[in-house]
C-alpha cells in the first residue's frame, strides 16, 4: 500500500460501483406470490457423511477449513478461490490432517459453478458479500444445501431470491450466524425460554468493531471489497451478528415478525480522518468520498409491539461490542461486559446472580461440546459449535437452527435501512415467511446426542 496507485484505487471503486449503487432503492414489496411450497421446519434425508465444497479461502474460509476438517462425518471434497495459492495451502492442511486431497476450482470468478455441479451435499460460501446470493442460488438449483457467511444477501430482492429458491428446490439455506452460538447468547436464549425475563419487550444489537486498518489493508479483505461498501452505501450494512441472537430470543419469524423500521446515520468523519492521517491529506484515499456514516442506528418494531435497536459502527475508535441486550417485564441482560438485573432487585446489576445464572442456565450445546469447541477455536468456540450443529442436523435429517427466512429477515435490515436513511422515513418490513410466522414453532433448547 505504500506505493498506492490512484488509477488502481479508482478502478477498484468502479469495478463494484454498479452492483453497490443499486442497493439503496431496491424493491421492498411486503408480500409477493410464492411457489406454494414452504421451507419452514425443512428437513432432508439424513446423510451418512456430508460432502462439502467450500468457496472462498480468505479469513473466514480458512477458519472453516480448519473446523470442518475436525468434525466427524465431514468430507471436504472441493475448494474454490480465485487465488490458487490459497486453495493450495488449504488443500495441504487437509491432506496433512490425513484426509484425501480435495478437488481444486481456481479458474476465475465463475468456476464456483463447476464446483456446485459435482457430487456434493453442502456448498459452504465464504466469499465477499456480493457473491453470497448468486452462489447460493446456483448451488440450490444444482441440488445442494447451502451455508452462507453473513450477511446472506445485500439487497431485499436478493433476500426474496434466496427464499424463493429454497422453497422451490427444498434445499437448506442457512446463514452462518456464528454469534447465535456464543456461550452468553445461548445461555440467554435458555433463560428467555424459561421465562426468566418475563414477557420480552425490547432488545438491542450491534456490530461495533473498528475495522479502519483492515479496510485499507490490501492483504485484508481481498481486493479491498469491504472499503467499497463504505464508499457506496449508507445504512446498517452488517446487521446480523448482534441481531440474530435477539431475534431468536424474541421468536422473530416464529410467533412474531418485524413490522417496520426507521434508520438514520451520523455524518461520515472517521474514514476520511483515518485516511488523511495515515496517507496524507492529498492522498486519493483521503480525498475519496465515503457514503457510510460512522454510526448507523436502526429501530425496528415487531407486529406484537416489541422494539429492537440495531447499531453499526466500523469506524470509531472504541471497544468491540454487539450489545446483546434483552429486556422484559421481570428483568434485563446486557453484554459487553455481561450484566444482569432481575426483580425484585432490578435497580442494580448483580454479579453474584450472573455467576449463578451461568451455572444454572448454561446451554446444553456448551455443556456437551464447549470444551472441544474452545480447543478447536473460532471466536472462542462459537464457530465450531455452529459448524458442529449444522453437520449434526444434516446427518440426522433434522431442521436447521437457522432457516432461509432467518437469513432473509436478518440480512434485509441492510437494504431496508439504506432506503430509510435515503428517504428519511419509516419503511415497512416484508413478510418473507408469507404468513407462516404465525404458526412456526420457536427454536427449542437443542442438544446433540
pLDDT digits (tens, 9 = 90+) for 77-113: 999 999 999 999 999 999 998 999 999 999 999 999 9
**CB neighbourhood size of 3 (10 A):** 5
pLDDT (average), residues 249-265: 98
In a domain, 259, yes or no: yes
- Domain end, chosen from 135, 151, 176, is at 176
The answer to whether residue 321 is domain-embedded is yes
Tell which wins on pLDDT, 1 or 306.
306
| Listed range (25-34, 102-111, 342-351, 390-399) with the worst mean pLDDT | 25-34
Residue 327 sits in a domain of what CATH number?
3.30.360.10
Range name among 20-29, 191-200, 270-279, 362-371 with the lowest pLDDT average? 20-29
For residues 235 and 420, is the Cβ–Cβ distance under 8 A?
Answer: yes
Identify the residue with better confidence: 61 or 97.
Answer: 61
Would you state the pLDDT for residue 6?
A: 41
User: What's the pLDDT score for residue 34?
Assistant: 79
Say whether both 165 and 211 belong to one domain: no
Domain boundaries, position 390: 180-438
pLDDT over 90 at 310, yes or no: yes
Q: What is the pTM of this model?
A: 0.93
- Name the domain boundary from 132, 161, 176: 176
102 and 186 together in one domain: no
| Per-residue pLDDT tens over the stretch 117-175 | 999 999 999 999 999 999 999 999 999 999 999 999 999 999 999 999 999 999 999 99
Same domain flag for 172 and 212: no
At residue 32 the predicted structure's pLDDT band, cuts being 50, 70 and 90, is confident
Q: What is the DSSP string of 167-234?
A: HHHT--EEE--GGGGSHHHHHHHHHHHTTTT-SEEEEEEEEE---HHHHT-TTSSGGGHHHHHHHH--
192 and 151 in a common domain: no
Task: Look over the chain and give the mean of its residue pLDDT values, rounded to a whole number.
Answer: 93
Q: What is the crossing angle of helices 404-423 and 156-169, to 10°?
A: 160
Amino acid at each position: 500500500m505504500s506505493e498506492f496507485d490512484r488509477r488502481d484505487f479508482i478502478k477498484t471503486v468502479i469495478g463494484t460501483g454498479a452492483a453497490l449503487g443499486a442497493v439503496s432503492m431496491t424493491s421492498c414489496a411486503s408480500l409477493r406470490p410464492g411457489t406454494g411450497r414452504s421451507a419452514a421446519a425443512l428437513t432432508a434425508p439424513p446423510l451418512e457423511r456430508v460432502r462439502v465444497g467450500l468457496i472462498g479461502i480468505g479469513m473466514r474460509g480458512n477458519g472453516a477449513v480448519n473446523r470442518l476438517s475436525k468434525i466427524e462425518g465431514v468430507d471436504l471434497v472441493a475448494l474454490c478461490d480465485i487465488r490458487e495459492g490459497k486453495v493450495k495451502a488449504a488443500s495441504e492442511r487437509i491432506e496433512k490432517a490425513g484426509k484425501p486431497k480435495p478437488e481444486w476450482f481456481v479458474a476465475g470468478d465463475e468456476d464456483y459453478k463447476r464446483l456446485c455441479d459435482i457430487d456434493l451435499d453442502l456448498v459452504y460460501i465464504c466469499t465477499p458479500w456480493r457473491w453470497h446470493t448468486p452462489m447460493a442460488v446456483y448451488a440450490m438449483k444444482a441440488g445442494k444445501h447451502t451455508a452462507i457467511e453473513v450477511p446472506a444477501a445485500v439487497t431485499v430482492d436478493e433476500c426474496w431470491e434466496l427464499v424463493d429458491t429454497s422453497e422451490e428446490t427444498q434445499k437448506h439455506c442457512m446463514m452462518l450466524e456464528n454469534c447465535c452460538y456464543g456461550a452468553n447468547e445461548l445461555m440467554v436464549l435458555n433463560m428467555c425460554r424459561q421465562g426468566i425475563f418475563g414477557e420480552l419487550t425490547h432488545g438491542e444489537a450491534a456490530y461495533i468493531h473498528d475495522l479502519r486498518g483492515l479496510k485499507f489493508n490490501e492483504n485484508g479483505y481481498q481486493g479491498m471489497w469491504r472499503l467499497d461498501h463504505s464508499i457506496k452505501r449508507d445504512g446498517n450494512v452488517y446487521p446480523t451478528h448482534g441481531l440474530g441472537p435477539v431475534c431468536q430470543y424474541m421468536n422473530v419469524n416464529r410467533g412474531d415478525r418485524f413490522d417496520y423500521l426507521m434508520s438514520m446515520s451520523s455524518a461520515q468523519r472517521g474514514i476520511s480522518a483515518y485516511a488523511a492521517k495515515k496517507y496524507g491529506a492529498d492522498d486519493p484515499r483521503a480525498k475519496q468520498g465515503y457514503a457510510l456514516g460512522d454510526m448507523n442506528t436502526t429501530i425496528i418494531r415487531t407486529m406484537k409491539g416489541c422494539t429492537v435497536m440495531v447499531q453499526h459502527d466500523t469506524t470509531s475508535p472504541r471497544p468491540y461490542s454487539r450489545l446483546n441486550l434483552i429486556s422484559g417485564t421481570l428483568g434485563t441482560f446486557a453484554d459487553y461486559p455481561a450484566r444482569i438485573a432481575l426483580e425484585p432487585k432490578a435497580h442494580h446489576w448483580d454479579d453474584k446472580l450472573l455467576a449463578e445464572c451461568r451455572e444454572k442456565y448454561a446451554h446444553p450445546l456448551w455443556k456437551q461440546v464447549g470444551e472441544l469447541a474452545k480447543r478447536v477455536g473460532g471466536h472462542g468456540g462459537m464457530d465450531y459449535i455452529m459448524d458442529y450443529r449444522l453437520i449434526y442436523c444434516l446427518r440426522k435429517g433434522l431442521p436447521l437452527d437457522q432457516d432461509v427466512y432467518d437469513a432473509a429477515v436478518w440480512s434485509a435490515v441492510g437494504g431496508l435501512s439504506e432506503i430509510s436513511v435515503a428517504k428519511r422515513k419509516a419503511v415497512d418490513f416484508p413478510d418473507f415467511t408469507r404468513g407462516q410466522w404465525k404458526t412456526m414453532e420457536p427454536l427449542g433448547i437443542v442438544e446433540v446426542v
